[in-house]
Amino acid sequence: MSLYGPDLLALLPELIIVATACLVIVLDPITPASRRDLLGWLSLGSLALCLGLTMGQIGVLNIRVSAFSDLVVVDAYARFWKVLLYGVTALTIVLSLPYLKAERIHLGEYYGFILLSLAGMLVMVSGADLLTIYLGTELMSLSLYVMTGLNRSKPRSLEAAAKYFVLGAFSSGILLYGISLLYGMAGSTKLASIAAAIGTHGANDPLLLIAVILVAVGFSFKLAAVPFHMWTPDVYEGAPTSVTAFMAVAAKVASFAAFMRVFIEGLGGLKADWSLLFLLIALVTLVLGNLVAIVQTNIKRMLAYSSIAHAGYALIGFIAAGRATGTSGGTPGLASVMIYLALYAFMTLGAFAVIGMLRKGGIEGEEIEDFAGLAKRQPLAAFLMLLFMASLAGIPPTAGFIGKFYVFMAAVQVGLAWLAAIALIFAAVSAYYYMRVVMVMYMREPDPSSIVPRLVTSPALSFLLACAAGGVILLGLFPDPLVSFALQSVLTLK
């Protein structure tokens, strides 16, 4: 214990999350179905404890602690993402408490899988070694595969889980192949060693470029970037709404965090190559995500393509970091991605919470037409959905506008004003399909011959919606604390 004590202390939040997940899974068979909410509250308690531990470390922003022979690192960059992931996971559990009852999913292990997935995400954001990051990615993904198919009474959910598993395994193989090529070149999978080897070998090695492309493809699948997005609409539609919300936010946040660390700390010597690659990916992601979302009639599929488009917006900030010069030239670009994803979390969770509230004959009301007349039936719910749709579209003074502002400004600062202009055009395009939901709520009456959806409300859902709405409004008006936190956190990336 004396040998590994400091290392275990550095990973104490991860250990607490894993221990709680195991405890929840063990307690599940002996917990009555009517009292399985207690397992959710136990999970929330562990998240509160981990948040306190991580917040206690934030005061020393510039401290970078390595553990387990530099396989993982705890720095301000990792702490930023951990705090965000704790919050997203806690709000997802709050959403799940009433949702599981409404859907008659009496599975206590649901909370265990959420925590196991979170543990993988925490390992991803702290990984300083490609294999460590890969293991974290697989722990996150395997848990999500199971959670996608938890609604076993619906064939659509099982189909989504099968598709996600097959395509996820394929992408993991590509990522692992890229890692193996980097290991062959550097003799190590540690990011620092890979960076040093690139400096020695130069950037013109064709095998090295192939490895970078394979790693980029593996991460692009996790980011839901085009053309590696094909799993997203079916999985988002088939998964339980609370799982879709968790996947759309937490999985994307963790994947971006690991992705940026790998390409900045490990492959920073190849910025000229990968920035061009991701420039092309960002452009096709923006175009396809926004255009295909227009024709969707299912709101979860529409938000799936919206999520794809948002990955394109976030990639713009990362590309700006790759094009920047100087020792700290990439800071605004990387910080803009962190700001964007933090704000994206509030509006996306809020939108999925409103979707999860709709019930049509005991079944989720997932069609956009199910929102017809919602403003008359439930004016507060309609207003909240209006707020979240406006924020996703980037309309001021919501948080979504602030996120796009910092990403576009980062692009302009490195001479990519044309890219920001294209993104701005497609942000205007996105307003069409977001505002279509608003139009249906406020300007259309429900079909008299169909079952009118009703809202399933609870104190937990009210709390979640209050947090999401508060984040969208307050961070839209007063973003300075988040911006400062992101700028300070990104400085520890080497």
Q: What is the pLDDT of residue 477?
A: 93
Element (H or E) spanning 74, and its range? strand 72-74
From the list 73, 68, 70, 74, the residue with the least C-alpha distance to 5 is 68
Q: Which of 444, 414, 485, 418 is nearest to 77 (CA)?
A: 485
Nearest to 307 by CA among 205, 235, 386: 235
Domain boundaries, the chain: 5-490
Burial class (CB in 10 A: 0-12, 13-18, 19+), 433: buried
Tell me how many helices (H) and strands (E) the chain has.
21, 5
pLDDT score at 1: 42
Exposure of 202 by Cβ count < 10 A (0-12 exposed, 13-18 middle, 19+ buried)?
exposed
pLDDT value of residue 202: 67
Shortest CA distance to 191 belongs to which of 131, 140, 137, 251? 131
Separation of CA 165 from chain center: 18
pLDDT at 2: 47
Interatomic CA distance for residues 101 and 89, integer angstroms: 19
The reported pLDDT for the residue numbered 378 is 84
Task: Going residue by residue through the chain, which has 494 residues, state the pLDDT in tens, using 9 for 90 and above.
Answer: 445 567 777 788 899 999 999 999 998 888 787 787 888 899 999 999 999 888 877 655 567 778 788 888 888 899 999 999 999 999 999 988 877 776 666 677 889 999 999 999 999 999 889 999 999 999 999 999 999 988 877 788 888 899 999 989 999 999 999 999 999 888 888 998 898 888 777 667 788 889 999 999 999 999 999 888 888 999 998 888 889 999 999 999 999 999 999 999 888 888 888 889 999 999 999 999 999 999 998 899 999 999 999 999 999 999 998 887 765 556 888 999 999 999 999 999 999 998 888 765 555 667 888 888 888 888 888 899 999 999 999 998 999 999 999 999 999 998 899 999 999 999 999 999 999 999 998 988 876 656 656 666 778 888 889 999 999 999 999 999 999 999 988 887 76
How much is the pLDDT for 58? 63
